[in-house]
Amino acid sequence: MPQILKIDPNTSLKSHTKCIRGILKGGGVIAFPTDTYYGLGVNPFNEKGIRRVFEIKAREHGKPLLVLVATDAQVNQLAQNRSQEANRLIQKFWPAPLTLIFTAVPELPTILTAKTGKVGIRLPGNEWTRRLIETAGCPLTATSANRTGGTNLRTAQEVLQVFGNKIDLIIDPGPAPGGKVSTLLDTTVSPPVLLRRGAITQQEIESCTANECTLVS
């Protein structure tokens, strides 16, 4: 069975740094609550870990994985050629359930980007998840902790029931908030393309960019 790390969300994660970083360095997979649902986290530069996520989720390799960050510096580790519209959206909304798609740096594994040359990034809206990312010492993938097509999960026990010993660590500071999924917006083109409706509305985005978004149905 995976290790379950039950913690108080109001306390420091510092004492768990060695454990978390060791798992991620070895290509391990952790499950943790984001600002929406539980996600599966690996170091986005670790191809071994990424392949494990695809295997665990029974996910098609043609689908990219999004990444969570805790700082703007981590965005720059992952993305290049940020547009002015992207920067305005970041300043207006982040941290929030808004995933922005950028041009990926060439160092990212192509399995993460699905050979699109793009990467989806979000600065999560809950402070605890940002502290976890800082503790991990790297950005974290955050594809939903479910089997492809399955129900989104909110609790550590639900994650345990679905995945059992296929993941290495489940971090349990309490249930994820649930609600609407993050909005997904491609900022590599102008005007931006809305790929998925979510918590941040199309109207809110358009009021920030001064451009109408193209909606992919």
Cα separation of 190 and 211, whole Å? 8
Task: Report the relative pairing of strands 118-122 and 98-104 from DSSP bridges.
Answer: antiparallel
Cβ neighbourhood burial of 60 (10 Å; 0-12, 13-18, 19+): exposed
CATH of the domain at 44: 3.90.870.10
Domain, as residue range, for 20: 3-215
Mention every residue, 6+ apart, whose C-beta is less than 8 A from residue 24: 30, 41, 42, 43, 46, 49, 136, 137, 138, 140
| Distance, C-alpha 48 to centroid of its chain | 17
Q: Which two tokens stand for residue 175?
A: 């249930």
Residue 17 pLDDT: 96
17-25 and 127-136 are packed helices; what angle lies between their axes, rounded to 10 degrees? 70
Strand partners, 3: 169
Strand partners, 133: none
Could you tell me the pTM of the whole model?
0.93
84-93 and 202-209 are packed helices; what angle lies between their axes, rounded to 10 degrees? 120
Cα separation of 23 and 2, whole Å? 12
In tens digits, what is the pLDDT along the chain, a chain of 217 residues? 788 999 999 999 999 999 999 999 999 999 999 999 999 999 999 999 999 999 999 998 889 999 999 999 999 999 999 999 999 999 999 999 999 999 999 999 999 999 999 999 999 999 999 999 999 999 999 999 999 889 999 999 999 999 999 999 999 999 999 998 899 999 999 889 999 999 999 999 988 877 767 666 5
Q: Which two tokens stand for residue 26?
A: 């070895």
Tens digits of per-residue pLDDT, 22-81? Answer: 999 999 999 999 999 999 999 999 999 999 999 999 998 889 999 999 999 999 999 999
User: Looking only at Cα atoms, what is the longest distance across the chain?
Assistant: 51
Residue 217 pLDDT: 52
* Alpha-carbon distances of 173 from 25, 110, 151, 166, 176, rounded to whole Å: 22, 32, 21, 20, 9
Residue 126 pLDDT: 92
Total domains present in the chain: 1
